[in-house]
Structure 1
Amino acid sequence: MQNEKLKVALVTPPGLLGLQDWQAILIDRLRSDPRFEVTGQIVGGIDRRDRSGTLLMRLLMRAEQVLAARRILPYDTQPAADFLSTLPVTQDQADLALALGPASLTKYQLAQLRFGEWAVAFGGMSDPFKAAMTTGAGRAPHVQVEIHSRSYEDPTQRVFRQTSYNRKPGSVLTGAFVAEKSILFLYHAMNELAERRSVPETRQLPEATREKPDFESSLVYAFNLVSDVSEKLKSERLARAGQIRESWQLGSSSGPVSGFHPGKAKGLPRSSCIMADPFLFEHQGQQWVFFEAMNAEDINGRIEVARLEGDCLTEPVTALKCTYHLSFPFVFRAGDSIFMMPETQAAKRLEIWRCTKFPDEWELHAKAFEGQYLADSSMYLGDDGRWWLITNLSDHFAFQDHSSELYLFEVDGPDLKTIKPHPKNPVVFGSDCARNAGAIIRQGDRLFRPSQNNSHGVYGFGLNLMEIIKLDETEYEERFIRQFTPKDRPGVKGMHHLSVAGGQIVMDWSSAE
């Protein structure tokens, strides 16, 4: 039955389970969602605890917890803990068992579950903080998150969903961040199960390595931690002093997007310390570039515009300036009017501005998503007449983040009077590919979405070119085509935007100063 609730039992280890924030948030969401019914708890018969680290790693973890406490908004876990304590210890009537900690069900326990057991794994571990510490020691580009499935028919661990999230300085911040992001990832899969009532296709997993970290890796992690924290504190100190350590600049090249390579782009003249998020717009036979501009003394970014003439820009003028930060100025036509949709997440809403005199006079035309955080938004008008809003919305508690999920909304156009969320939202997960790096690019009958590769602990580390395979009212599918990193343009720290129009290409890249 479509309206039948999905019955969920929670798998807990023997003894008292001290809930981490992400586990409590997940429990609170499940018990308030009418699609789910939490029927009880099952004490797992298989111990899957991660090996404890070295004494040095445990001491470092404790020190990090003290230092990072003020940076992480604490969640009240007591209501979820109270609810868990009232649940009967039974698996009767449950469709799915959800493992909350380092315990799994025996084959006998799996026998009575229609959809078996699901568990979230962080780099092959049950504890996100230990996984983050291992990632930090090895300088991995990101932390991998998987959803594992087990059933009576096949009790081996199999994976059916996999994504990854960018690192933050230290294992405590990284672990808390990745754990919070995993809630939406898991919840999305559970929503699909509740709707389809069928187990997704799985594949065999190699047995996770659970070797005890040695002293050498502990020292490597300590060195990396000190380096990361020092860099972070230095950047914050420079920002407070009104200095910008990282700068962004624009570059241009020509040709189709399929032949784009950042190494071929020529740097455009600098007029601000930060020039980023460039959008090309053709108007009366001329190419214009709208971009985010910001100097060291500025509190907020503004939108500037200049005409592109060969490999040069004319003197930029301010197109739009507000009392809050502006960036990502997506400019488009609808009917006889020209509109701009800059990023305005600092105002906690989405805004669309209409041009009254091109290129530097605009009036507020529409606003939507009041109280929400949307970043790097663009719109696309399909051949079927449907308007799509493509955006990176942050659904968060402690960590506002726009780099890990992509959302689609069917809208009526720039008026934003009708907004219908796509049933598969979020349609893309992962900090290495979810965030928009520009608007959809059409080349013949193919559609490309430039996306950001946020990894190695760096925002805007690289660019991806994704091809959209399917986009309609029920499905969204894209595939990876190409990736560009600083290796493709030596001397830069990162790149995170691409725009194509009329045979011209503009991009941006960053460098540390």
Structure 2
Amino acid sequence: MKKNLRLGFLVHGSEIPAWYAESLQTIIATGQHEIFLLRFSAEQISPPAAPLFFSLFQRFERKWFQNQFDATRSVSITEFAKCAVILDFSAESFLLSSEEFELLQALELDYVYTIAYNGHAAENVSAGAKFGLWYVQFGYVPLDSHQVPAFWEVMENAAVTRSCLLMKKKEQITVLYEGSTRTVPFSVFNNFSSIAWKTSSFVVFRTQSLATLYETFAERFAEPFTYQTPLREVPSNRKIPLLFLRNVGRYLLYKAKAKLPAGRFTLLYRRGMFQIENLEQEPFHALPLPPDVFLADPFLIEKDNINYVFYEEYSYLTGKAHISVLEIGQPGIPSRPRVVLERPYHLSYPFVFEHDGAYYMIPETVTNRSVELYKAVCFPTEWELVMTLMDNCELIDCTLHFQNGLWWLFASTANHSFVSTNDQLLLYYSSDLFSGEWTPHPLNPIATHAGNCRPAGRLFIERGKLYRPAQNNASQQYGYGIVINEIHLLDKENYREAPVRFIYPEPLGLKAIHQLAFTSDLIVIDGIK
């Protein structure tokens, strides 16, 4: 049973940025909680004036990279007047007067959320709510700085940009959500919009966790916060031109490389038994790659001494993919591929599995906003739609696992069209595969970093331990590598995993390795040569 919460959202003045408004709108749309907008009458105190060249750089970025996904666009709080109580405070900081602190306490809020607290300023707001003050922190940059978050990640060509949601209560700061997403190269403006839209989902997810795990919430999110990277100073007038020119140089190099033929994913295979530590010991054989296509997302079924390889076959001519299959028997020679499933929309990641003597498939159908279950009427070539497991959703690379009488469904997602799909892993469970009723895990998302999140094949057990392969997208190259995670705890209220093996493409003579599949005598991967 989810608890109805009383939530305070702190705003400065009459407008908030669009990414903050997104958080509010999503929580309000649940219709479950009572919302209070705590409006400080004074505008947020402005930071010191930025160096001239830095200000000019910001103006250039905003003009050059204008787009419809501007996370900093202003939204009036009057849009929320019908569904939230707006209360005015005269405070100019987070340190309330005794009268206004009593007013805050009287609201009996579960938390107060803000995007403006810097983590160290004097405050007493956190003492006025049961679960304290919730606030965000971006990467290298303190929130009281005049430099834009996501700046240094672009200028230093960092693979990922980080942010987190923190909870302050009784002078203790703990981590509620920590995540990273691939850095948008060349543009600080676009990179900030990307990480801001992503961060807008953090408070939404943890509000769901609080409503479900109310009595044990503080115990579950008790990890102390420490800065993993040093905060950075704003660049001087002397340094800004150098950073700008270096960034332009990288962009011109990128445009030049873009004219060269792009690498394409293909399938590679080798005979033998898979073990976590032995993948790089012997070479793989690449399947011939037809023109104008790429091959990816292999899944294997072993039946009657034949390995059936199901995979995505993407056509650059049609702009979508279908599911194909080929066979590799004892001689180890692949058969000619056959198309087994095609729809008007894009299909990929053909998760094929056996259940009660029948074969089923869950292909990725995110462009149809659904999770569809198919059954083989004539294995391996003929499939029919059994049912839609979930509708009106955007779940990517759905991966099933059955354990302790429950079906567990892992899938990555994105909360906004401008953000990556590689760094939020959701988990659902159901007691009946065919019920259409899937319960979201209260700790969603259970993985939040670009380097160890999106599914890279089916879960497997080796030497009594359960493992989950994940894509390593902490790189400018999509699908750069694979991380093998050992799952230590999996139940309706808990999930814990830890990486135990990193698989990199270079020892295999590849530029990327994206997915792993194996049977008792065959290993198949996909990669870019």
- TM-score for both structures, normalised by structure 2: 0.82
The 5 Å alignment of 1:417-496 reads 417-490=436-509, 492-496=510-514
The 5 Å alignment of 1:342-421 reads 342-382=363-403, 384-396=404-416, 398-399=417-418, 401-411=420-430, 415-421=434-440
Aligned to 1:100: 115
Residue of structure 2 aligned with 1:259, choices 264, 267, 277: 277
Aligned to 2:94: none
Residue of structure 2 aligned with 1:167, choices 175, 183, 187: 183
Give the Cα–Cα distance (whole angstroms) in 2 for the partners of residues 249 and 128 of structure 1: 46
Contact 2:176 2:206 in 1 (8 A): no
Give the Cα–Cα distance (whole angstroms) in 2 for the partners of residues 20 and 97 of structure 1: 17
Q: Please state if 1:502 is matched with 2:524.
A: no
Contact 1:496 1:509 in 2 (8 A): yes
Contact 1:281 1:287 in 2 (8 A): yes
The 5 Å alignment of 1:8-157 reads 8-10=8-10, 12=11, 16=13, 18-41=15-38, 43=40, 54-70=51-67, 72=69, 77-79=75-77, 83=81, 86-89=86-89, 90=100, 91-92=104-105, 93=107, 94-101=109-116, 106-125=122-141, 126=143, 130-151=148-169, 153-154=170-171
Give the Cα–Cα distance (whole angstroms) in 2 for the partners of residues 229 and 76 of structure 1: 33
Give the Cα–Cα distance (whole angstroms) in 2 for the partners of residues 473 and 418 of structure 1: 15
Give the Cα–Cα distance (whole angstroms) in 2 for the partners of residues 365 and 31 of structure 1: 35
What amino acid is aligned across from residue 153 of structure 2 in structure 1?
T
What amino acid is aligned across from residue 363 of structure 1 in structure 2?
E
Give the Cα–Cα distance (whole angstroms) in 1 for the partners of residues 369 and 198 of structure 2: 20
Paired-residue identity, %: 22
CA deviations over 1:81-135 (Å, ceiling 9, x no partner) = 6649942214333443322225666245544444332210110433898222210
Aligned to 2:247: 224
Unaligned runs of at least 5 residues, structure 2? 90-99
C-alpha change, 1:482 and 1:498, in structure 2 (3 Å) is: same
Give the Cα–Cα distance (whole angstroms) in 1 for the partners of residues 157 and 477 of structure 2: 12
Give the Cα–Cα distance (whole angstroms) in 2 for the partners of residues 292 and 165 of structure 1: 25
Contact 1:302 1:320 in 2 (8 A): yes
Aligned-CA RMSD value: 3.5
C-alpha change, 1:475 and 1:220, in structure 2 (3 Å) is: same
What amino acid is aligned across from residue 246 of structure 2 in structure 1?
F
Moved more, 283-292 or 305-314: 305-314
C-alpha change, 1:420 and 1:99, in structure 2 (3 Å) is: closer
Give the Cα–Cα distance (whole angstroms) in 2 for the partners of residues 312 and 50 of structure 1: 67
Q: Please state if 1:334 is matched with 2:350.
A: no
Shift of 1:225: 5.3
C-alpha change, 1:82 and 1:285, in structure 2 (3 Å) is: closer
- Three-state SS of the structure 1 residue aligned to 2:479 is strand
Contact 2:134 2:165 in 1 (8 A): yes
Q: Please state if 1:249 is matched with 2:246.
A: no
C-alpha change, 1:247 and 1:417, in structure 2 (3 Å) is: same
CA deviations over 1:166-223 (Å, ceiling 9, x no partner) = 1123222221121111122232233334442553314252495241224436533553
Residue of structure 2 aligned with 1:192, choices 209, 215, 235: 209
- Three-state SS of the structure 1 residue aligned to 2:23 is helix
Shift of 1:380: 1.5
Give the Cα–Cα distance (whole angstroms) in 2 for the partners of residues 414 and 46 of structure 1: 53
Shift of 1:395: 3.1
Give the Cα–Cα distance (whole angstroms) in 2 for the partners of residues 426 and 418 of structure 1: 19
Residue of structure 2 aligned with 1:297, choices 317, 323, 331: 317
Residue of structure 2 aligned with 1:284, choices 304, 312, 317: 304
Give the Cα–Cα distance (whole angstroms) in 1 for the partners of residues 342 and 50 of structure 2: 51
- Three-state SS of the structure 2 residue aligned to 1:388 is strand
Give the Cα–Cα distance (whole angstroms) in 2 for the partners of residues 411 and 117 of structure 1: 34
Q: Please state if 1:213 is matched with 2:235.
A: yes
Moved more, 399-408 or 327-336: 399-408
- Three-state SS of the structure 2 residue aligned to 1:428 is coil
Aligned to 1:203: 224
Give the Cα–Cα distance (whole angstroms) in 2 for the partners of residues 364 and 181 of structure 1: 34
C-alpha change, 1:330 and 1:319, in structure 2 (3 Å) is: same
What amino acid is aligned across from residue 284 of structure 1 in structure 2?
D
Shift of 1:392: 1.8
C-alpha change, 1:460 and 1:50, in structure 2 (3 Å) is: farther
Aligned to 2:6: 6
C-alpha change, 1:173 and 1:80, in structure 2 (3 Å) is: farther
Contact 2:273 2:519 in 1 (8 A): no
C-alpha change, 1:111 and 1:469, in structure 2 (3 Å) is: closer
What amino acid is aligned across from residue 209 of structure 1 in structure 2?
L
Give the Cα–Cα distance (whole angstroms) in 1 for the partners of residues 430 and 349 of structure 2: 20
What amino acid is aligned across from residue 76 of structure 2 in structure 1?
Q
